[in-house]
Amino acid sequence: MKLFSYFRSSAAWRVRIALAYKGIPHGTVPVHLVRDGGQQHSESYRELNPQGLVPVLEDDGQAFAQSLAIIEYLEETHPEPPLLPPDFAGRARVRQMALGIACDIHPLQNLRVLDYLRGPLAQGDGPVADWVRHWIAEGFRPLEELARRHGDGRTHLYGGSVTMADVCLAPQMYNARRWHLDLKPYSALVAIDAHLMTLPAFSTTRPEAQADAE
């Protein structure tokens, strides 16, 4: 397997965590999202992923995009250790939390979206930072509530082991800090993230530990 990744992309980090957690051997190809006008826009990369976004996982001659599609693929091809609970209701709940981050927080603070806010919508740094913090907070508020309902509020978002939801949480917390979001209202999320970052699958895959980190 080969992962096309950018050190700071939180979607790529999700896949790095899943690969590490499952102990799946793979190579990593860095794709620089800013240098050369964005290497993800090159013809050869668009061949792998017409969306021109990271990550992409290449396996068995096929290239797959969308981090959660890739993680579901890894879960099906390498079931152990699992990133989803065994029961239907638990799986739905974990996916709900993961999608709450992957659909409703992350895409709104993506590089291309911020470029559009600064460009065609002529927004300055202040309003752009407010926008990012607003949408992270909008997503963290319900996630904090769900973490208290369905997890222990201290170590994992759901149940007592790492799930797809935790895999999405850690990179989003990293992003929240980069944007100086006040994390005081989210004490469960802060505690869970602190626990996750003690696990090698999370700590060894963090942006600063990547070969392409700057």
Which of 128, 196 has the CB closer to its own copies?
Answer: 128
Nearest approach in angstroms of CB 14 to its own copies is: 12
Nearest approach in angstroms of CB 182 to its own copies is: 18
Strands, sheet with 62-65, edge to edge from the N-terminal-most edge strand: 27-30, 2-5, 56-59, 62-65
Which of 56, 201 has the CB closer to its own copies?
Answer: 56
Nearest approach in angstroms of CB 8 to its own copies is: 18
Which of 17, 71 has the CB closer to its own copies?
Answer: 71
Q: Are 55 and 67 in contact (CB under 8 A)?
A: yes
In terms of Cβ atoms closer than 10 Å to its own Cβ (0-12, 13-18, 19+), residue 183 is middle
Nearest approach in angstroms of CB 103 to its own copies is: 5
Which of 70, 136 has the CB closer to its own copies?
Answer: 70
Nearest approach in angstroms of CB 11 to its own copies is: 9
Which of 32, 91 has the CB closer to its own copies?
Answer: 91
Which of 46, 177 has the CB closer to its own copies?
Answer: 46
Residues of this chain that interact with its own copies (CB under 8 A) are 49-53, 60, 62, 64-66, 68-70, 72-73, 76-77, 88-89, 91-93, 95-96, 98-100, 102-104, 106-108, 112-113, 116-117, 120-121, 123, 127, 130-131, 134, 138-139, 141-142, 145-146
Nearest approach in angstroms of CB 49 to its own copies is: 8
